[in-house]
Amino acid sequence: MQTDIGNNLTRAIELLTNNQVVAVPTETVYGLAGNATSPTAIQAIFKVKNRPSWNPLIVHVPHFQAVFPYISELPDKAKLLADAFWPGPLTLLLPGNGVLPGAVNNYLPKVAFRVPAHPVMQALLQQLPFPLAAPSANVYKRISPTTAAHVYKSLAGKIPYILDGGNCGYGIESTVVGFDTAGQPVVYRQGIITLQALEAVTGCPVLLPEKDAAKASPGMATVHYAPFTPLQLVLQAAPIAAEAPARSGFLCFSRPVQGHPLQHQFVLSTQGDLHEAAANLYRGLHYLDELNLDIIFAELLPDTGVGAAANDRLQRAAAMYQSQAATLITT
Ligand code: TXA
Ligand code: MG
């Protein structure tokens, strides 16, 4: 299948209306979108992404009111959060009413909803008579895409069209928030909307899931977002540079490592700004991975606010390589 990249909204609408999947821009990462009301389109998303069917999808709607046809009730704190952060990088887990096909959320009681803010995605949703199911537009477990070129690299030949909306402004996936039986917010995935911001709006402490969270939010897999090159996390890159193998890459927070080839390094934010660093995180990983080096060292960011969300992604990206990276360092 030929994969085109362009900004033709009409073509995207035509394909989506015919149950095809299309990569779409959002303010977080690119999504792999299909008609959320069509079992055929949902099946196509799982197939293209090579994603197991037990890992549920997020349903994207144009505005808050558009969730009501698909839910049985709205927790009070969910309303507060939707009013404060939609459109934006927040996903809410809400009780479904069975109208959407069960395949979209693996027949779980909750369905994930998000109102994205990206103008191209907004225009698309406003012109479609159905919501869009969309996971991130990467092959399962691999680095998420923040440009149309990233999507092309991972899905060329598998999808007909990539709707190009430029670089994703936030660069990491939405914050996923559910509610326990008492209506308290629980954060299943950290993101741009920080725990502090959620607490400020809901007026109560937000909970982090228990250790067996994988059951509550199946996508919280330890291994995720991984580059093909072994990845090792470090607190600071500079001290290890002297002993690092010659063909090492460095993903640095604010400053490059002295004495190491600059083309093998990617600095996330020269200003030391956490939002800018998060926005560049996947782009930096894609860049270094394409160099086919022996190992990538990535500096952890200051673990506050958006830095914590970015560190969560780095930890999952490195999980696959923990033992391999250790061997490379010591030999
Ligand atoms: O920013 C984003 O959220 C992007 C853009 C495209 O909107 N989408 C995204 O989708 O990151 P995905 O599929 O890569 O991640 C969705 C996360 C997964 O961790 C999944 O397990 C969780 O949301 N999730 C979805 N539905 C759920 C449900 N019903 N119950 C629990 N967790 C759910
Ligand atoms: Mg994903």
Task: Note the pLDDT of residue 328.
Answer: 44
Q: Which two three-digit tokens encode residue 61? A: 């709607």
Nearest residue by C-alpha to atom 30 in ligand 1:
217
Task: Give φ, ψ of 84 to 5 degrees.
Answer: -80, -35
Q: Residue range 245-258: average pLDDT? A: 95
Helices (H) and strands (E) in the chain, counts: 11, 14
Task: Note the pLDDT of residue 208.
Answer: 87
Distance 56 CA to ligand 1 centre (A): 7
Nearest residue by C-alpha to atom 20 in ligand 1:
219
Q: Residue range 58-73: average pLDDT? A: 98
Mean residue pLDDT across the chain: 93
CA distance 308 to 330: 29
Confidence of residue 327 (pLDDT cuts 50, 70, 90): very low
* Ligand 1 atom closest to 106 (CA): 29
Nearest residue by C-alpha to atom 31 in ligand 1:
217
CA distance 75 to 185: 10
Location of structure tokens 């027949």:
107
Task: Note the pLDDT of residue 1.
Answer: 93
Ligand nearest to the CA of residue 139, numbered in listed order: 2
The H or E element that residue 93 is part of is strand 90-95
At 26-62, the pLDDT tens digits run 999 999 999 999 999 999 999 999 999 899 999 999 9
Q: Which two three-digit tokens encode residue 180? A: 């326990």
**By mean pLDDT, which of 73-87, 91-105, 169-183, 232-246 is the weakest?**
232-246
- The residue to mutate among 61, 121, 154, 176, having the most atoms of ligand 1 within 8 angstroms of its beta carbon, is 176
Distance 57 CA to ligand 2 centre (A): 9
Asked if residue 193 has pLDDT above 70, the reply is: yes
Asked if residue 112 has pLDDT above 90, the reply is: yes
Q: Which amino acid makes up residue 194? A: T
* Ligand 1 atom closest to 30 (CA): 6
Ligand nearest to the CA of residue 58, numbered in listed order: 1
User: Is the CB of residue 227 less than 8 Å from the CB of residue 316?
Assistant: no
Q: Which two three-digit tokens encode residue 75? A: 């927790």
Distance 290 CA to ligand 1 centre (A): 26
* Ligand 1 atom closest to 189 (CA): 19
The H or E element that residue 319 is part of is helix 306-319
| Ligand 1 shell residues, CB under 6 Å | 26, 28-29, 31, 55-58, 89, 91, 93, 105, 108, 110-112, 114, 134-136, 173-174, 176, 188-189, 217-220
Task: Note the pLDDT of residue 211.
Answer: 60
At 135-157, the pLDDT tens digits run 999 999 899 999 999 999 999 99
Q: Check residues 60 and 220 and name the one with the higher pLDDT.
A: 60
Asked if residue 87 has pLDDT above 60, the reply is: yes
pLDDT-above-90 percentage for the chain: 86
Task: Note the pLDDT of residue 30.
Answer: 98
CA distance 253 to 250: 10
Asked if residue 183 has pLDDT above 60, the reply is: yes
* Ligand 1 atom closest to 32 (CA): 6
CA distance 293 to 264: 8
Distance 257 CA to ligand 2 centre (A): 30
Task: Give the three-state DSSP class for 40.
Answer: helix
Distance 135 CA to ligand 2 centre (A): 6
Q: Residue range 71-84: average pLDDT? A: 97
